């Protein structure tokens, strides 16, 4: 059986395709400033986000990698939401690979402002490959914790840019990763406040 490890080029193609699909599907609602029947089922989510992730494995910032993250959140109150996210990270330093799925809480501040800070804490599961884990080319499952903060800033209508930092810790494998997050998100509830 051939090795199906993704390359940097294939990861970037996947990320670009996800962002293009998200922009294509949601642009109709953004231009109309109200949900359309095509995406009415997605409107139960407060926002959807596609992000580029820059993982850093150590304090020498020259050892970084790349990855992607897709997330959706749903507001429970005006400031508290639940979020579900999935991601894939890789660095060539220490041959680190991580695929994870997490869920948890997110606090949003200044919901109707142009710049909206947030803080999040998520718990989930990761499949980790690291040269420090024997055997070197196998994945190990591990409970995973993720905490971070950032800003969503209005671009146009319902579209927001996203920038943030996260710290990820995989419990059993003891893998720690700092993450920079840059992306785009669509806020379904932006039209309600107008």
The token duo for 21 is: 């699909």
Query: pLDDT band at residue 121, thresholds of 50, 70 and 90?
Result: very high
Query: pLDDT band at residue 147, thresholds of 50, 70 and 90?
Result: very high
Please give the share of the chain, as a percent, with pLDDT higher than 90: 31
Could you say which of 3.40.50.460, 3.75.10.10, 2.40.160.20, 2.170.120.40 is the CATH number of the domain covering 8-191?
2.40.160.20
Partners of 56 in beta bridges: 64, 178
- The predicted-structure confidence for 17-39, as pLDDT tens digits, reads as follows 655 655 555 554 444 444 444 44
- The predicted-structure confidence for 81-109, as pLDDT tens digits, reads as follows 999 999 998 887 667 788 999 999 999 88
Partners of 80 in beta bridges: 107
């Amino acid at each position: 059986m051939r090795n199906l490890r993704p390359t940097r080029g294939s990861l970037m193609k996947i990320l670009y395709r996800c962002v293009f699909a998200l922009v294509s599907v949601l642009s109709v609602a953004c231009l109309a400033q109200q949900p359309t029947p095509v995406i009415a089922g997605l409107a139960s989510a407060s926002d959807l986000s596609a992000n580029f992730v820059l993982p850093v494995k150590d304090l020498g910032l020259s050892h970084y990698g790349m990855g992607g993250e897709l997330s959706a959140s749903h507001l429970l109150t005006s400031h508290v939401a639940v979020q579900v996210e999935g991601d894939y990270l890789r660095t060539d330093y220490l041959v680190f690979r991580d695929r994870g799925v997490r869920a948890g809480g997110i606090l949003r501040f200044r919901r109707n402002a142009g710049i909206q800070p947030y803080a999040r804490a998520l718990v989930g599961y990761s499949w980790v490959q690291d040269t420090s884990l024997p055997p070197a080319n196998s994945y190990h499952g591990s409970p995973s914790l993720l905490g971070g903060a950032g800003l969503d800033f209005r671009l146009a209508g319902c579209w927001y840019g996203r920038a943030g930092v996260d710290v990820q810790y995989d419990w059993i494998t003891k893998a720690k990763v700092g993450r920079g997050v840059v992306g785009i998100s669509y806020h379904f509830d932006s039209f309600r406040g107008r």
